[in-house]
Amino acid sequence: MKAVQFTEHGDRDVLEYGDFPDPEVGPDEVLVDVKAASLNHLDIWTRRGLPGVELEMPHIPGSDMAGVVTEVGERVSRFEAGDRVALIAGVAGGGDEFSRKGDPTLAPDFHIIGEHVRGVHAEFAAIPEENLVPVPEGVPWEVAGSASLVFQTAWRMLVDRGELRPGEKALVLGASGGVGHAAVQIADYAGAEVYATASTDEKLEYAKECGADHVINYEEDDFSKEIRKLTDGRGVDMVVDHIGEATYKQSLKSLVKGGRVVTCGATTGPDPGAGLNYIFWNQLSVIGSTMATPGEADEVLDLVWDGTFEPRIRETLPMSEIDRAHELIEERQGFGKVVVIPDSEL
């Protein structure tokens, strides 16, 4: 088969799309003919190299995809050949306590397909059946292959970990990215008054289309000061911050007393300083969140499949143009998800 791969960490020039051995299907695995996959910022960090993460080389990146089942292992019971499926990338471990009914993100050896083990930017992928969900007929492959990671992540952040309530004010940072544009839609669906930041007026218009009530160009304005103006000095109840060092202190300053920051990542760096003076004096909460439970993923993906939520596609490319796909993410070009399709499917 053909697959995106790299044999060493580095810049985009380490990526290639070439021959790779066909995957072998284990007894609990499903072989998927990949129809569409997509990128996340996670793919950039994996390619560059994550501290403490040792990869088997060559590594295939990718934590989002959808396709058709072509073969199932002998112990597989949930799927059969011909089924349409999408990937849920979080893998549990540690025994029955962390089964599909539990919370795999709390498992002792929780890991992510595409980050810690080989991923799915390839013509075929062998995936544990517990990491697949059915995709209804009529859902476009681009939608099915780009929704899972960002919508489950944003849903857990806002609904389950952050407990966003109707009438609250929520600020979503980086609203043009995958998690950001999903979070705007979910906050609007939850009945919040939604504030969003992005770097260009064009991106801000897209954020409004996704449900933002107020938008701020962070290249032109200090968003924490703008939030105070827009809320008559009050602040917001929740900040969705997946950016990290560059925004963390402004996020704390944007909150009402008793407010909360919810974070699932740190694309500009993980060590912004604790800001303890803001936290204890204003009685703030900083809440971490990673991926989702299977139940949470099922809940939000049902809302994607029925059209309530929509993954916006900034560009669709053949997998052979994977360097351009990474460039779009790294350079923050466009709004929404970048989709890659095996060249054999074009």
Q: Is the residue at 166 inside a domain? A: yes
Same domain, yes or no, for 177 and 113?
no
Same domain, yes or no, for 223 and 186?
yes
Predicted confidence (pLDDT) per residue in 284-332, tens digit: 999 999 999 889 999 999 999 999 999 999 999 999 999 999 999 999 8
How many CB atoms within 10 Å of residue 117? 14
Predicted confidence (pLDDT) per residue in 207-227, tens digit: 999 999 999 999 999 999 999
Q: Is the residue at 17 inside a domain? A: yes
With a CB cutoff of 8 Å and minimum separation 6, the contacts of 325 are 39, 315, 317, 338, 340
The CATH number assigned to the domain holding 170 equals 3.90.180.10
Same domain, yes or no, for 208 and 86?
no
Q: Is the residue at 121 inside a domain? A: yes
Segments forming the whole domain that contains residue 18: 2-147+311-345
Q: How much is the pLDDT for 95?
A: 52
Same domain, yes or no, for 101 and 76?
yes
Same domain, yes or no, for 90 and 175?
no
Same domain, yes or no, for 165 and 188?
yes
Q: Name the residue type at position 298.
A: D
Same domain, yes or no, for 191 and 235?
yes
Q: Is the residue at 113 inside a domain? A: yes
Which of these, 185, 191, 189, lies nearest to 172 by C-alpha position?
A: 185
Q: Is the residue at 56 inside a domain? A: yes
Q: Is the residue at 12 inside a domain? A: yes
Q: How much is the pLDDT for 269?
A: 75
**Can you tell me the distance from the alpha carbon of 317 to that of 322, in angstroms, rounded to the nearest whole number?**
8
Predicted confidence (pLDDT) per residue in 257-279, tens digit: 999 999 998 877 788 888 899 89
Q: Is the residue at 53 inside a domain? A: yes
Domain count, the chain: 2
How many CB atoms within 10 Å of residue 159? 19
Q: Is the residue at 295 inside a domain? A: no
Specify the pTM. 0.94
Same domain, yes or no, for 118 and 98?
yes
Same domain, yes or no, for 256 and 331?
no
Same domain, yes or no, for 72 and 85?
yes
Which of these, 4, 149, 130, lies nearest to 65 by C-alpha position?
A: 149
Same domain, yes or no, for 156 and 223?
yes
Same domain, yes or no, for 77 and 211?
no
Given a cut of 50, the residues of the chain with pLDDT beneath it are none
